Structures are given as structure tokens and as C-alpha cells.
Amino acid sequence: MAVQPLVRARDLHVSFVSRDSTVKAVNGIDLDLVEGEVLCILGESGSGKSVTLRALMQLNPKGKTVMSGELNVAGNDMMTISDAKLSAMRGKVVSMIFQEPMTALDPVFTIGQQIGETLMRHEGIGYREAEKKALDLLELVQIPSAKRRLGAYPHELSGGLRQRAMIAMAISCRPKLLLADEPTTALDATVQIQILLLLRRLQQELGMGVVFVTHDLGVAGEIADRIAVMYAGRMVELGSVTDVMAKPLHPYAQGLMGATVHAGNRGKRLTTIPGSPPDLRFPIPGCAFAPRCQYVGDACREHVPDFRYPAEGRAVRCVKAEEVAAA
Amino acid sequence: MSTTFSNEVAATPAATRKIAREDTYWRGVGRRLLRDKMTLVCGAILIVMTVLIVFAPLIAPWGPTDGSIARRLKPVGTPGHLLGTDELGRDMLSRLLYGGRYSWFVGITPVVLAFVIGGGIGIIAGFAGGKINMAIMRVTDVFYAFPSVLLAVAVSGSLGAGIANAIMSLTIVFIPPIIRVAESVTTGVRNLDYAEAARATGAGPTSIVMVHVLPNVLGPIFVYATSLVGVSMIVASGLSFLGLGIKPPDPEWGLMLNTLRTAIYTQPLIATLPGVCIFLTSVCFNFVSDGLRTAMDVRA
Amino acid sequence: MLYYIFRRIIYIIPISLAVSLVCFMLVHIAPGDPIDAMVQPDTPQEVIDRVRAEYGLDRPLPVQFGVWLAKVAQGDFGTSLIKGRPVLPDLVSASGATFILACTGGLLGFVLGCVFGGLAGVYRGTWIDRILLGTAVAGVSVPHYWLGMVMVIIFSVNMNLLPAMGAGPGGSTEWAWDWAHIRYLILPSLTLAVIPAGIVTRTVRGLVSDIMSQDYITTLRGKGMRRRGIVWHVVKNAAPTVLAVIGLQLANLMGGSILVETVFAWPGTGMMLNTAIFQRDIPVLQATTLVLALFFVVLNLLVDLVQTAIDPRISRR
């Protein structure tokens, strides 16, 4: 019996329309996630990773966003879902944690109140009970002196504690899917590890599926089961974390691995990828990475490469995949 | 590898290359302003009014004080008197045109004076910082303790009626808010990174002020000052309405409203005409000022 | 926190002194001798000197200021030159009348302003926003004394619905909360409400629009909060600033009602000030200005304290 996937996206396109221009942020991606799995979307700024994440719960700005394609989350067709059902899903079935907890939390409400209101909204309980549950959650995310911290305002907490509070708020209703938008990027290095470990533990305890967006390879290596590499609004490589990091097949992914400091690169020079990401206001005829690629050929510039499947669970969008693999 | 860049540029069609060229700030401001229809319409109205007022002696069919009681309070559309006559038989259209000169003068001059004086003091306060700043701002706070109408009326009432006194009292009223805005903008700019960078390269205080600070603060202060013109005209006319300010028989819109009050029972339309002029001027100035502010706001 | 309140209250003292000084100086910036207002033109010199000594006008200015201040502190606001009786009682009843007018007009203006501004901020950029904003700009651009005249023309002269002048039937100045009196209040308070309505609309619109673009609103949507919940968050974030603006506007209404009171012959401090100016009744002019300005100062203080109390971000140390 096939397992119902938690997330299924096919040929998803997301554009932002304004009076001056149209930005095609996401250009046809496919995504699959099953329950309990951790997928990491890796990419630079402007690659479309955050937009993809927000599209999973339709959180992009309403007036400006145009979406097309197929998107199914936890059995709901997200392209035709009603506003009421969407609102009921958010926070209960699928939850999100954001990059900057200082601005993502309301400064004039205590964290106890903010966690509590989520519980009251979705579980229909009263204020007293919500407060008790919020206390339990704070302890679950390992915030010291939890009772005192319930009445604290966001600006009274350190960055790490704020992020823990936001995580507590997100998991409060035991969601099946957790979306994380670079949750550790704004934190100090030591705190980053703590938060990552916390997330991994919570994921295992609650059996959540997680889509984790980051630009940091080290973070991906720490927490992910699978990695999807994004460039200019498209997925360019997909595979398990060990496979992709040990043997990247796409030239961009190769460049990324070569540019990062890790054990595999010891004693070698770090590589750089020349040029910069393309401007997504203008349509790109062929492979978006062509201008910066060292293996580029004519076929690359003519049309967008299709996916190739060199192994089970591996996908790569490059016509020269075998050539790159041999390198 | 570097040759791949020119390929990228060459690949984009010429039309899109035009968008990609860097926009200067002022070009962006101009573009946004041109798109804002409301501001354009109001700006056009103001220009028309300016022309009418400046050329009043050439356009007005009658003199501002010509009149006889026999012709008093004739309605709008009377032959020879397009907008009727007032309570002393003087032609409304002519008085409105001439009155505009006084109203605009007493309305705009205080703002200009306050912009220069208040702006100067505020910029000095913001730039100097420390004790000088504190001293200036505390004194400003005292004047802020008065509601503006009250202060204008009280000062004007003490000084007595007359144009000069009205202008003086209004200038006094508007200097404190401009000082505040100027000081806060200057302090903000002074603390910004590029001012520090300039200092780090050894630039002296005068050149920092001229090159970096002034161009950046004059804009916001100017926009704030334009938003005060509407208020100034209303208060200036209000002073005349109360009998301070312009003295009869000189025409001024506020004064005309006062003397026409008795006419509201017989010729209500004529009685309200001066107010319409004040309203129109004020509205247009406010819309233009708002439009300027929106166009200059980079975040919008 | 208490220390902060204490310090803030203490700050009033130098401000009040300075304000009193300005009020006092108002008289002395007037051209001519204050004496001229009090005596006939051809009075013999020794009578003038005696009057001068009586009023203490022959002493140096700082001394005069000190004397005046001392008297004010004891509740003696001087004697009206024209009416010949103490200023204080008249001032009190006039203040009451102005207070009623200002509060009513203010309340109307604030409610309208909050509603319009809230709607405009939420629907920013749509036609709703443009209409409401246009109305607000028109509101602050209108000369309210002219608007009062227009209202009188429409409702009194043409429709004969509401009275044009005064605060009570038969020109009485005693106030009562019955329909006979309230009908006198309607037109002036509506007129007065227009400008604060415009200002509050613009402020609330800017605030709400700013708040709606904040990250935490996205978080709220992301956790499935319903519209009511999001509105509550917006209100609580906007409240401190909105209350501050409302407080300031109320103070402005008290001090700036002179023009509307003149149009409607409303027996308040504005009318009192107006009359005093024309009759060159110096003590009344000084006293009225002082009271209105001090009221403004006190109201500013209250606004400051309330704002500190309800906004958790402001440090209380």
C-alpha cells in the first residue's frame, strides 16, 4: 500500500506581479515529502527557496502572488482550498518558524499569551488551560525558568530563547508538517547548534515532517535526510544528504560543496563560482546556470534541461551530468 | 570565466536593458510624482491661482474698494458682477482676486521665514549636539506648550492688528515645529554611517555639512514646511476673521468672511465664497505636500 | 517606574514657569503703555502715576512678574479692567463651556478618525483608502470657521432645524444636559470635530498600514489566527500612539476653539479671549492664555504617562 505523501508538488510556479515588473520566483518545481522525513532546501538568496516554503501554506502576499501547478499538502489541494479551511490548517496541521524571531513575534504581547492564543484558536480551550499548556511547551523546548518566562515580552529574551519560544508556538498543536525558514541564520554559532539539536529531537519525538530552508551546508548536513538544491527558481539536484554532499552531480552543487569549509576539502583550495545569480524579472531561455558553468555547451543555452535520474532517489537537471560526475 | 558576463548581457534584449539601467533618486521621484494624478491636478490648480492672483490688477473688472451701497448684495450672475457684490456694493470677483494677494502673502511668508530661521536653528542644534542641542530644544519645548491657534491669537492680540504683526506672530508659531523636525532629521543623518565614513576620511565639519548633511536634510524639512502652508493660510485668514491682521477696507479672504457674516441670511452663497477660496488653496497645498512626501519616500 | 512618574511631574514646573513668563510678557510686547488702556486720554499726569503705582506698573519687570505669579498661585487672577470684577469666576464658567464643547467635538472626531483610519489602513491602496484619505485631507484643509458658517446656513437659515448661536435658549449661559441645550451643541461640536477627525484618520491610517506590513502579522496568519484575533493585535500595537495623538488633539481643541466659538457665539474661553483682545483687557488676556496653556501642559503630561503605562517596549527606568 502506497504511503500518502505529506507534501506533493508538481510543476509549481510562483510569480509576483507588480506595476513595474513580474518576478518569476519559482519556475516549475516538483516536491515530495513523506511523514517523518526531513527535507532541506538549499540555495542562495534569490533562489526561490523561501517563496517555495511559503507557497506550501499559501503564505505569500495575497494581492501580488500568482501560483500555478499542482500542490497537495496533508491531503488538501492547496490551489483550491477555501480561506476557512486554510486558516484552520495553519498552526494545526502545518506550522512555520521564521528566521528573525525578534520581528516575527508581536512586541506588545508576552510569549505566554502568543503561545496560548494559538492553542485557544485551534483546540478550543480556555485561557487558564492554554496557559498551563504553554508552560509545558516552554519546558519541552528547554527554556529555563519557564514559569517566569511565560510573562516575558519578546524584547526581554535573548535571541536563542526567542527562537525556542517561536518553536514552542509552532509545535503547540502537534502539526504534521513543520516548515522552517532559516531559523538559525540570525543566531550565534553556539546557539545555532543547540537549536538544531532541539529541532531534531522534537522532530523525532513528534514524528513531524520537516521542510527546512537554509543556505548553510553545515546546517543541512546536521539535520536533513534529503537535500534539494535550488537555483534561480528551479530544483537542480535532489538526493539523500550523504549522496549529494559526498558526490554532487550538478555543477552548481559542486561549486557549493567546493566553496565550503568541511572535512572533504581539507588541504585543497576553496573554489568560487564566478558571476552572480540572474535577474528573475527576465525569462531565461535555457539552463539558468549556463552563464556561470564551466561545462556549458550549446544545448544548455537552448532549452531548460530535464531531470535525469542517475540512481534511485537521485535527480539532477543537467545534460552534462555524466561528464560532471566523472570530474 | 570573465567572458561569460558579457554573454549574459548580450543575451538580454535591448528593451529590457533599459529597465536595468540605474535610476537616480530624483528621476524616481519625478516619475512617481508624474504618476500621481491627484498631486498633478492640485499643482495645476495652484499654478492657475498664482497666475490669477499675480495678475489681479489686469484681470479684475473693478477696483477692490469701488462700490456703492446702492448695489449691495447683488446675487451671483448679475451683469457686470460675475460673482455678485458684497455688503458695501463692491464686486466680489475683484475683491476675491485682490484678496488672494493678501491671503497668500500672509499665509506663505511666515512659512518661508520659519523655514529659513527654524530650519537653520534646528540644523545647528542637530549638528552641534550636546549642551547646545539641549538648550535649544528646551526653549523650543516651552513654545510647544502652546496650541498654535492660541499662540497666534495671543501674540497677534498683544501686538495689535496689521499685516506685519500677523506675519510675525505666525512665524513665531511655526518656528518651533520646524526646529523640531530639522533637529531630528539632522541628528538622524549625522549619526548615519556615511557621515562617519566621511569623518574617517578626514573631511572637516564644514564640508561634511555642505556635501553630506544639507542635501539630505533640506528635502524632508522642505516637505514638512509645505505641509504647513495650508494651516498657515487658515490661521492667517482666521486672524483676519477675528479682526486681527488685515484691516478693512483692504480685501482679504478671512476678513471678507467676517464682514459678510450678516449676509448669510440674504445672500448665503456670496457669504461663503471667500471660504471656498481658502479651502481650495489649503486642500491643493496639502495634496501637493502629501504627494511630494510619498514620492520622496523610498520605501513606498 | 514611580521614579519616572515623579521625574516627569517635576519637569512640569520649569515648563509652567516658562509658559507663565510668556503669558506675562504678552502684555509687555504690546506697543504702547499698558496704562493707556486703563485711563482716559487726557488724564492729568499725577493721576496716571497713581494708577501706575496702584497696579504696580512702576516697578521693574522681574518684580512685576514675581508679584503676578504669587497672586496667581493664590488664585487671584486679577481684576478685569472692563468689568471691574475678579477674573477667576468668569474664567471658570467659560472654561466649563469650552470643556463641554471640546470634549464633545473631540469624541466625535476621534471615533470617526479611528474608524476611517482603520479601514483606510487595512485596505491601503484600494479605492476605499483613496476616498477616506481624500476626505481626511479635505477635513484638515477646511477653515473651520467657514465650515461653521456653512453649517449655519444649511441647518439654521435654510432648514431652520438648529439654532445658529449661543449655548442655551434665550442666550443663557447655564448648562444642562437636556435637549433644549444639546441642540445648541450639535452644530459647533460637529464643526469642531472635522479637523481632529482628519488628523486622527491620517495618523491611524499610517499606523495601521505600517503594522500590517510587519513580520508578526505574517506569523499570525501563518498560525491560522482569524480576522478578529489579528485586529486585536493591530489595535494593541497602535493604541499607545493613537492615544497620544488623541490627547494632543484634545488639548488643541481646548486652546484652539476660539474661532468656532466666535462663529457660534459659544460662551467659552475663546469668546472671552476674543473680547479681552478687543477691549485691551490685559488681566483677562493674561489669565485666559495662562489657563489654556497650562491645561495643555497638564494634558501632555497625562498623555506621556498613559503612553508609558501601556507600551511595554518603553523602558521605565
Q: Is B16 part of any domain? A: no
Contact assignment for C137 to B275 by CB distance below 8 Å: no
Nearest to B73 by CA among B98, B93, B92, B60: B92
* Mode of pairing for the β-strands spanning A315-316 and A234-240: antiparallel
Chains that touch C (3 or more CB pairs under 8 A): A, B
Measured CA distances, C258 to C48, C94, C266 (Å): 34, 12, 9
pLDDT for residue C133 is more than 50: yes
Higher pLDDT, A39 or C34: A39
Considering chain A, what is the average pLDDT of its residues? 86
Mean pLDDT of C185-200: 88
Sign of CA dihedral A319, A322, A325, B1: negative
For residue C66, the distance in angstroms to the closest alpha carbon of chain A comes to 47
Q: Among the three residues A133, A159, A174, which one is the final residue of a domain in this structure? A: A174
Do A109 and A221 sit in the same domain of this protein?
A: no
Q: pLDDT, tens digit, for every residue of B189-244?
A: 777 766 667 667 776 666 666 666 677 778 788 888 888 888 888 888 888 888 88
Do A131 and A190 sit in the same domain of this protein?
A: no
Do A57 and A205 sit in the same domain of this protein?
A: yes
pLDDT reported for residue C168: 66
Do A81 and A137 sit in the same domain of this protein?
A: no
Q: Among the three residues A174, A205, A224, which one is the final residue of a domain in this structure? A: A174
* Whether B90 contacts B154, CB under 8 Å: no
Considering chain C, what is the average pLDDT of its residues? 80
Contact assignment for A91 to C222 by CB distance below 8 Å: yes
For residue A47, the distance in angstroms to the closest alpha carbon of chain B comes to 18
Q: State the pLDDT confidence band at C159, using cuts at 50, 70 and 90.
A: confident
Q: Is B10 part of any domain? A: no
* Whether A140 contacts A172, CB under 8 Å: no
Residues of A in contact with C312 (CB under 8 A): 107-108, 153
Q: Is B29 part of any domain? A: no
Please identify which residue in the block is written with the cell numbers 535526510. Answer: A225
Do A192 and A286 sit in the same domain of this protein?
A: yes
Burial group, residue C187, by CB count within 10 angstroms (0-12, 13-18, 19+) = buried
For residue C212, the distance in angstroms to the closest alpha carbon of chain A comes to 11
DSSP at B76: T
The domain of B230 spans 46-294
Nearest to C213 by CA among C125, C301, C110, C286: C125
* C143 close contact with B: CB closer than 8 A: yes
Of the candidates C19, C27, C258, the beta carbon closest to that of B149 is on C258
Q: Among the three residues A127, A155, A174, which one is the final residue of a domain in this structure? A: A174
Do A164 and A56 sit in the same domain of this protein?
A: no
pLDDT reported for residue C62: 77
Q: Is A65 part of any domain? A: yes
For residue A298, the distance in angstroms to the closest alpha carbon of chain B comes to 13
SS3 B208: helix
Q: Is A98 part of any domain? A: no
Residue by residue, what is the 3-state secondary structure of chain C? CHHHHHHHHHHHHHHHHHHHHHHHHHHHHCCCCCHHHHCCCCCCHHHHHHHHHHCCCCCCHHHHHHHHHHHHHCCCCCECCCCCCEHHHHHHHHHHHHHHHHHHHHHHHHHHHHHHHHHHHHCCCCHHHHHHHHHHHHHHHCCHHHHHHHHHHHHHHHCCCCCCCCCCHHHCCCCCCCHHHHHHHHHHHHHHHHHHHHHHHHHHHHHHHHHHCCHHHHHHHHCCCCHHHHHHHHHHHHHHHHHHHHHHHHHHHHHHCHHHHHHHCCCCHHHHHHHHHHCCCHHHHHHHHHHHHHHHHHHHHHHHHHHHHHCCCCCCC
Tell me, what CATH number does B256's domain have? 1.10.3720.10
Domains of chain C: 2-58 (no CATH), 90-279 (1.10.3720.10)
Considering chain B, what is the average pLDDT of its residues? 78
Q: State the pLDDT confidence band at B18, using cuts at 50, 70 and 90.
A: very low
Mean pLDDT of C53-69: 73
Do A134 and A43 sit in the same domain of this protein?
A: no
pLDDT reported for residue A53: 92
Of the candidates C141, C152, C277, the beta carbon closest to that of B282 is on C141
Q: State the pLDDT confidence band at B300, using cuts at 50, 70 and 90.
A: very low
* A291 close contact with B: CB closer than 8 A: yes
ipTM field: 0.86
Of the candidates B147, B254, B261, the beta carbon closest to that of C256 is on B147
Of all helices (H) and strands (E), which one includes residue A15?
strand A7-17
Provide φ and ψ at B54, rounded to 5°: -65, -40
Do A71 and A152 sit in the same domain of this protein?
A: no
The domain of A149 spans 104-174
pLDDT reported for residue B210: 65
Residues of B in contact with C195 (CB under 8 A): none
Structurally, chain A folds into a number of domains equal to 2
Give the range with max mean pLDDT: A74-78, A163-167, A246-250: A163-167
Of the candidates A21, A275, A282, the beta carbon closest to that of B4 is on A275
Do A163 and A181 sit in the same domain of this protein?
A: no
Please identify which residue in the block is written with the cell numbers 501642559. Answer: C297
A231 strand-pairing partners: A234
Q: pLDDT, tens digit, for every residue of B167-196?
A: 988 998 899 889 888 888 887 777 776 666
Please identify which residue in the block is written with the cell numbers 528621476. Answer: B27
pLDDT reported for residue B180: 86
Q: Is A58 part of any domain? A: yes
Q: Is B35 part of any domain? A: no
Contact assignment for A282 to B16 by CB distance below 8 Å: yes
Alpha-carbon gap, residue C42 to A73, rounded angstroms: 98
Q: In what order do the strands lie in the sheet with A65-73?
A: A22-33, A7-17, A65-73, A76-77
Is the bond preceding B249 in cis, omega lying within 30 degrees of 0? yes
pLDDT reported for residue A112: 93
Mean pLDDT of C242-261: 82
Alpha-carbon gap, residue C185 to C100, rounded angstroms: 9
Alpha-carbon gap, residue B243 to C192, rounded angstroms: 21
Nearest to C262 by CA among B169, B228, B73, B153: B153
Alpha-carbon gap, residue A70 to A77, rounded angstroms: 8
Alpha-carbon gap, residue C108 to C99, rounded angstroms: 14
Which residue type, as a one-letter code, is found at position B278? I
Nearest CA in chain B to C297: B145
Alpha-carbon gap, residue B280 to B49, rounded angstroms: 10
For residue A65, the distance in angstroms to the closest alpha carbon of chain C comes to 15
Residues of B in contact with A21 (CB under 8 A): 19
Q: Is B19 part of any domain? A: no
Q: Is B275 part of any domain? A: yes
Do A180 and A78 sit in the same domain of this protein?
A: yes
Q: pLDDT, tens digit, for every residue of B35-63?
A: 778 888 888 999 998 888 888 888 777 77
Nearest CA in chain B to C27: B158
Which residue type, as a one-letter code, is found at position A116? G
pLDDT reported for residue C272: 84
Contact assignment for A291 to B19 by CB distance below 8 Å: no
Structurally, chain B folds into a number of domains equal to 1
Q: Is A2 part of any domain? A: no
Of the candidates A91, A153, A155, the beta carbon closest to that of C223 is on A91
pLDDT reported for residue C70: 79
pLDDT for residue B140 is more than 70: yes
Do A42 and A191 sit in the same domain of this protein?
A: yes
pLDDT reported for residue A162: 93
pLDDT reported for residue B13: 47
Q: Is A307 part of any domain? A: yes
Residues of C in contact with A96 (CB under 8 A): 219, 222-223
